[in-house]
Amino acid sequence: MNKDKSRKQFSTKPTSGTPKNREMLNESTEFAFTRKNYKLLLIGLAFILVGFILMVGGGSDDPNVFNENIFSFRRITLAPILIIAGYVIEIFAIMKRPKD
């Protein structure tokens, strides 16, 4: 008989559906990233993709012929700067806190 009473005590009080608990859940659920964080993440990703696209190419169709285009300003300087800037933007976007 004692076992039946203990089962009834635990099953008669639902705690998850009470309005008080719902209010507490609504107050405590804040996202880590805001819309601005996501925009910065996409901008950083765009910088990285453009940098890698600028680095592509410059090869030669004939393996016996050397192509000087692999040492162009675009591939040696501009593309790595864009990639590094993209990674810096990504880190900033992740670390930026929303205003309270």
Token pair, residue 14, equals: 């639902």
pLDDT tens, residue by residue, 2-61:
555 555 555 555 555 566 666 655 566 778 889 999 999 999 999 999 999 999 987 778
pLDDT of residue 82: 98
pTM given for the model: 0.66
- 51 within 8 A of 77, measured Cβ to Cβ: no
The predicted pLDDT at position 94 comes to 94
pLDDT at 86: 98
Tell me how far apart the alpha carbons of residues 62 and 40 are, in angstroms, rounded to a whole number.
42
Give 56's DSSP letter.
Answer: S
Q: Where are the domains of the chain?
A: 2-95
pLDDT above 60 for 63: yes
Distance in angstroms (rounded) separating the CA atoms of residues 84 and 89:
9
**The two three-digit tokens of residue 42, written as one number:** 């996409």
